[in-house]
Structure formats: structure tokens, C-alpha cells
């Protein structure tokens, strides 16, 4: 068994969609990034790559490469899963936390879990997603952006 940890952060920006876990969430701001800036999926990808000792998402999908401009992070997660499978691993479980002062994310978590489970071809009970605020502390508390933390377990 192998364990990987992932972290990602993106700042808010205007005229962008807020996409988390492949779910478009109605909100006045979205996240800035080269891809769709799905901070949850980026954290998951980094935790999976870390568990398999395959580097990080910046190595595999550099923000200097125009082919990734505006790409769905769910598509990138598919590619990461292919790498994981090529190494002979399967996912044991994924535990993720999204830190966001606003918007409230609880109504969207089940859809996020379903999206991710379907894409990774695993059971929904292998994925846990939590949302928290930072009690108005730091950049998240000032509503400047969103961060995510993730731990994944891989089995060989």
C-alpha cells in the first residue's frame, strides 16, 4: 500500500465558472488557472501521483503547454488514472477537504463524489469529500480563493 498527499490552491477571478469535483457551482466568481482550475481535482491528482511516486501535476500537465489551456480537470484526472493503472496500482480510498469561506459547498458534495467515482471506476464509498471554512482567517477567509487537501491510498 502507498499513501500520497495532495494540495492545491487557486485565486478567485471574475468571468470564470466555479468548478469543483467536476460540478459547476453557481457563484459570482470562479477560480483562475490555466485549466478549468478545479482545485479539488488538482489536489486529488497530486495525491494519486504522489502515492505512485510519479511527480506532480505540473510535471505532467505544465501550465506553459497550450494543449491544457481551459481543459477540464476531469480529463486530466482520467490521464492520471491511466498512469496509476500502468504502474499496477488501484485506488483504495481518497479523502479530500475543500477550504472555502464561500460559497457553501455541502449541497454539491454528493454529485462531486459521484462524478469522481464514475470517472475513476471505483465505488462512491471509496471517496470522502469534506468542506470547511477557515473562520475568516487567511486568504480563504478573506474570500480570495479556495484550497484543497487530499490523501489517497493506492494498493498494488
pLDDT of 126 reads 98
pLDDT of 45 reads 98
3-state class (DSSP) for residue 33: coil
Closest CA to 127 of 53, 56, 47: 47
pLDDT of 88 reads 97
Q: How far is CA 38 from the centre of its chain?
A: 6
Closest CA to 8 of 48, 54, 68: 48
Chunked in runs of 10, what are the mean pLDDT values of the chain (156 residues)?
Answer: 98 96 97 97 98 97 94 98 97 98 98 98 98 97 98 97
- Domain housing 34: 2-155
| CATH code for position 129 | 3.30.1330.50
CA dihedral of 76, 32, 133, 147, whole degrees rounded to 10: 40
pLDDT of 57 reads 96
pLDDT of 67 reads 94
**Residues tagged in the binding site annotation:** 8-10, 34-35, 42, 56-58, 61-65, 132-135, 139, 142
**Residues tagged in the binding site annotation for a divalent metal cation:** 8, 10, 42
The tally of domains found in the chain comes to 1
3-state class (DSSP) for residue 152: strand
The count of other CB atoms within 10 Å of the CB of residue 105 is: 23
List, in order, residues 6 or more apart from 44 with CB less than 8 Å away.
6, 77, 94, 96, 116, 148, 150, 152
d(CA 85, CA 76): 14
Amino acid at each position: 500500500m502507498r499513501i500520497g498527499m495532495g494540495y492545491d490552491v487557486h485565486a478567485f477571478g471574475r468571468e470564470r465558472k466555479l468548478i469543483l469535483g467536476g460540478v459547476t457551482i453557481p457563484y459570482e466568481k470562479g477560480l483562475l488557472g490555466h485549466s478549468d482550475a478545479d482545485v479539488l481535482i488538482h489536489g486529488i491528482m497530486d495525491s494519486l501521483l504522489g502515492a505512485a511516486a510519479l511527480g506532480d501535476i505540473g510535471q505532467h500537465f505544465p501550465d506553459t503547454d497550450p494543449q491544457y489551456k481551459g481543459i477540464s480537470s476531469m480529463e486530466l484526472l482520467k490521464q492520471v488514472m491511466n498512469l496509476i493503472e500502468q504502474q499496477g496500482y488501484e485506488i483504495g480510498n481518497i479523502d479530500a477537504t475543500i477550504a472555502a469561506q464561500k460559497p457553501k459547498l455541502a449541497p454539491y458534495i454528493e454529485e462531486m463524489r459521484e462524478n469522481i467515482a464514475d470517472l475513476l471506476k471505483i465505488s462512491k464509498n471509496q471517496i470522502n469529500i469534506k468542506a470547511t471554512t477557515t473562520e475568516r482567517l487567511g486568504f480563504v477567509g478573506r474570500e480570495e480563493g479556495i484550497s484543497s487537501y487530499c490523501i489517497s491510498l493506492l494498493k498494488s
